Amino acid sequence: MLELQSVHDEGYGGKALELGRALRAGLPVPPGWALSPPLVERIVLGDSSARQRVFAQLDGLGPAAVRSSAVGEDGADASFAGQHASVLNVRGREALLGAITSVYESARSSAALAYRRRLGITAEPRMAVVLQQLVLADSAGVLFTRNPLTGADERVIEGTFGLGEAVVAGLVTPDRFRVARGGAVLEQTLGDKDIAIAWRPEGGTHELELSPERSAALCVSPAQLGELDALASRCEQAFPGPHDIEWAFAGGKLYLLQRRAITRGAGGRG
């Protein structure tokens, strides 16, 4: 088990590697830990010493996000985004064990195995896990540092209220913005945001119905769009090529939840 900023190799999976790189570049990534595939397997199989190691880290993080970081995912020619599980607002040791097991088993689901076959990947899945402090988001979403449809040199931002899973899972039509470098808003379109994904105090998430007034408001301000443009620029300075970013605002602070190169064959996010 390594702190995320100490992950330097693909043995902890693509997601952990990218988050480690982002942390070392000074980007606003929530703190966390990377669990290697052998450690994950020991935890799933009931090894008590392995479980105690990860329990100690959960106690220090508080509410956590447990995310997949399969070895070989998010490479240059393919992304496994959307194929593997993430579990949000994990509180307590039993919930942590259940979340790690769910992530581990998601690499062996029929959909994930079929995706591997389509890519010609024959090796046995190896699942690492990212255990990360949960961002209790006021608003969240995704950002492309270059327009993924036209290739234009502009930011495309989609967002909603609450946790970003509502956007990732297609539960809402998000607010959508086109933003020029420097933060000028080129276009904004109000989405259909009748629900938000919110966290429960006891753990887990639920769908929360939004009032008509709340639904009719944009989820980010012009100043926050400027912050997102600045984050996009920082990612471009640290890493080559265009980026697909997951972001969240909580308590007025912007967080980078995930960053990957825009790849061919991406099937979603996870």
Greatest CA span in the chain, whole angstroms? 55
Residue 42, pLDDT > 80, answer: yes
Handedness of CA 13, 46, 203, 99 (dihedral sign): positive
Q: Where does the chain hold its CATH 3.30.470.20 domain(s)? A: 139-261
pLDDT: is 153 or 262 the higher one?
A: 153
pLDDT band at 199 (very low <50, low <70, confident <90, very high): very high
Residue 167, pLDDT > 60, answer: yes
CB atoms within 10 A of CB 108: 12
Residue 215, pLDDT > 90, answer: yes
pLDDT tens readout for residues 126-151: 899 999 999 999 999 999 999 999 98
Rounded to an integer, the average pLDDT of 197-206 is: 94
Rounded to an integer, the average pLDDT of 215-227 is: 97
pTM, entire model: 0.88
Question: Which residues are registered as beta bridge partners of 171?
Answer: none
Residue 266, pLDDT > 80, answer: no
Query: Best-predicted range by mean pLDDT among 17-31, 60-74, 98-112?
Result: 17-31
Which of 71-85, 119-133, 174-188 bottoms out in mean pLDDT, i.e. has the lowest?
Answer: 71-85
pLDDT tens readout for residues 73-102: 544 334 445 567 889 999 999 999 999 999
Q: Where does the chain hold its CATH 3.30.1490.20 domain(s)? A: 2-133
pLDDT band at 113 (very low <50, low <70, confident <90, very high): low
CATH architecture of 139-261: 2-Layer Sandwich (3.30)
Residue 184, pLDDT > 90, answer: yes
**Mean pLDDT over the full length of the chain:** 89
Residue 262's pLDDT is 77
- Report how far residue 190's alpha carbon sits from residue 249's, in angstroms, rounded to the nearest whole number: 18
Question: Which residues are registered as beta bridge partners of 66?
Answer: 87, 131
Residue 122, pLDDT > 80, answer: no
Which of 19-33, 95-109, 176-190 bottoms out in mean pLDDT, i.e. has the lowest?
Answer: 95-109
Residue 111, pLDDT > 80, answer: no
CATH architecture of 2-133: 2-Layer Sandwich (3.30)
pLDDT tens readout for residues 51-66: 999 998 888 888 999 9
Phi, psi for 98 (deg, rounded to 5):
-65, -40
Amino acid identity, residue 192?
D
Rounded to an integer, the average pLDDT of 17-44 is: 96
pLDDT band at 108 (very low <50, low <70, confident <90, very high): confident
Q: Token pair for residue 174?
A: 């998000």
